[in-house]
Amino acid sequence: MAELSTTSYAVLGLLSLRDWTTYELAKQMQRTIDFVWPRGERKLYDEPKRLVDAGFARARRDSVGRRPRTTYSITPAGRRALKRWLGTEITPPKLEFEGMLRVLFADQGDLGQLRTTIERISEQAGTAREQFAVMAQGMLAADGGDFPQRLHVNALGMRFMIDHYDHIVSWASWAMKETERWPDSRHAAATWSHRARAVLIDAAT
């Protein structure tokens, strides 16, 4: 059996819902899966071909006017593979977060840069949070949206993403208050060493 990647299973998951053209698959991945499993667009176009080669998907070629297109559908073997994968061990989550990377090296810059970074982190998280809130409202207004039979699992995902961005906004608000009395980013306020210990103790318990 061909060894599949997590991205392979993400594509199989979408194919389990309906048939998609290559373009539709890539766009649907970017609209939904990209929030928790971001991948380059080229990868998304190549993956369905791998699934066909492995016998987990079928490709049907036709055209719209003069433009050729390929539509993919899942095979019974693909459904079995997807179900098996859902029962396997998951890998721990990884966080790719440029703003936090800048925070971690903020002592090599100035306080204005640090506080600007925190503000941008808050703004970006607030914007993302609003996007998910709008998506959730749209699902409710449309009785579940395009896939009403999946409202129960979509609600779990929506709640996670909204809470995730709420957490970032809350952290940014806290960080702005804590740093407003710092003289610079290399030397924290005199009281911060005690606060830092308390914060670490609270986080570790």
All structural domains of the chain with their residue ranges: 6-86, 98-204
Question: For residue 105, what pLDDT is reported?
Answer: 97
Give me the pLDDT at residue 201, please: 85
Question: What is the residue-level pLDDT of the chain in tens, covering all 205 positions?
Answer: 468 999 999 999 999 999 999 889 989 988 889 889 988 877 778 899 999 999 999 999 988 778 888 999 999 999 999 999 999 999 999 999 999 999 999 999 999 999 999 999 999 999 999 999 998 898 888 887 788 898 999 999 999 999 999 999 999 999 999 999 899 999 888 888 788 888 888 888 7
Please report the pLDDT score of residue 129 as a whole number: 96
How far apart CA 205 and CA 196 sit, in angstroms, is 14
How many angstroms separate the Cα of 19 from the Cα of each of 2, 22, 23, 59, 87? 22, 10, 12, 10, 24
Predicted pLDDT at 20: 96
CATH of domain 6-86: 1.10.10.10
pTM score, whole prediction? 0.86
DSSP character string of the chain:
-PPPPHHHHHHHHHHTT--EEHHHHHHHHHHTGGGTS---HHHHHHHHHHHHHHTSEEEEEEEETTEEEEEEEE-HHHHHHHHHHHTSPPPPP----HHHHHHHTGGGS-HHHHHHHHHHHHHHHHHHHHHHHHHHHHHHHTTSTT-GGGHHHHHHHHHHHHHHHHHHHHHHHHHHHHHTT-SSSSS--TTHHHHHHHHHHHHH-
